Amino acid sequence: MIQFEWPWLLLLFPLPWIFRRFLPAVAPTEEAALRIPFMEEFLTAQSGSVRFKQNHKRLWFAFLAWLLLLAATARPQWLGEPVELPVSGRNLMLAVDLSGSMEVEDFELKGERVNRLRATQAVAGAFIERRVGDRLGLILFGKQAYLQTPLTFDRETVHTLLDEAVIGLAGKETAIGDAIGLAVKRLKNNKTDDRVLILLTDGANTAGEVEPIKAASLAKEEGLKIYTIGIGADEMIVSSFFGKRKVNPSVDLDEKTLTAIAETTGGRYFRARNTKEFEEIYTLLDRLEPIEQETQVFRPTSALYPWPLGAAMMIAALLLLRKSFSQN
């Protein structure tokens, strides 16, 4: 169906007649500073006069152009079929570590060795796509924490910006406390029962102004639940001058602090040593924070104003050309 956004503008249709009725006529010798196409027909038409009979076609075309201009100004829109969107009401923020240690290639993705950030982008990206109805946000942190995406229903944008994240973008160190503090600040004004932060890191807090446990206490006061994920393999083979040897690439992972953060806020701590465990964690998060099936209905709209506007301009152009030829 068609509707007008500002239908009251159609009430301006008699405006030319009002000008003619209540404003004094301009002296013939005066030249207008601004010439309005086809306005002359409104001002000079006289019912029953010979001149009206000669120009009645142009007069009707002028009225039609005026009506089309008003119709375009009233913003006609085409309303599509109603579309139902599931809305959970949950505000879910992702905080992703971009510190230098995320460069370690101890994950495997489709048979290829990848670094921790690449594995995070793949697994968390699929998680984002499944969260239909949630308002999602993205925090990236290293030495400092940055809000990359505010809360939004636009999952595609959040996914894209996560994929575009680069290691070291926020510094080489790890400010876990600042990331939590930023999440608390951004979610503080969203007074809903379902506010969740999923914090992913592979190290310990080595930078920032806020201690992680203190930040977790603030989160608890604000009703923010935090799930923490520690990533990194327990062992990997590296080559050196003395040959190959096993090392623990996750020796700097502070599981004790991550567990305390989660428990303080009523969340859980998870350990992802490989891609499979990573995927299982996000599947479990889908069950712990299920997507509710409440729906909101909206109708897509398409603007139609270019059509009446274009028609009005064509009529005005034809009237001007006709008048120009008649004068010559």
Say if residue 146 is in the same domain as residue 272.
Answer: yes
Say if residue 146 is in the same domain as residue 166.
Answer: yes
Q: pLDDT for 235-281, tens place per residue?
A: 776 666 666 767 777 888 999 999 999 999 999 999 999 889 899 99
Say if residue 73 is in the same domain as residue 166.
Answer: no
Say if residue 102 is in the same domain as residue 173.
Answer: yes
The whole-model pTM stands at: 0.64
Q: pLDDT for 143-187, tens place per residue?
A: 999 999 999 989 999 999 999 999 988 888 999 999 999 999 998
Say if residue 136 is in the same domain as residue 183.
Answer: yes
Q: Which two tokens stand for residue 170?
A: 């926020």
Q: Which two tokens stand for residue 217?
A: 């206490």
Say if residue 163 is in the same domain as residue 59.
Answer: no
Mean pLDDT of 29-50: 49
Greatest mean pLDDT range, 38-47, 85-94, 126-135, 213-222: 213-222
Is the alpha carbon torsion for 169, 258, 210, 265 positive or negative? positive
Say if residue 223 is in the same domain as residue 152.
Answer: yes
Going by C-beta distance under 8 Å and a sequence separation of 6 or more, which residues neighbour residue 184? 215, 218, 219, 222, 224
Least confident among 19-23, 166-170, 283-287? 19-23
Going by C-beta distance under 8 Å and a sequence separation of 6 or more, which residues neighbour residue 269? 227, 228, 229, 230, 255, 258, 259, 261, 262, 263
* Mean confidence (pLDDT) of the chain: 82
Say if residue 62 is in the same domain as residue 157.
Answer: no
Residue-range definition of the domain harbouring residue 25: 2-79+300-327
Say if residue 204 is in the same domain as residue 73.
Answer: no
Gap between the Cα atoms of 313 and 315, Å rounded: 5
Which residue(s) pair with 4 in the sheet? 76
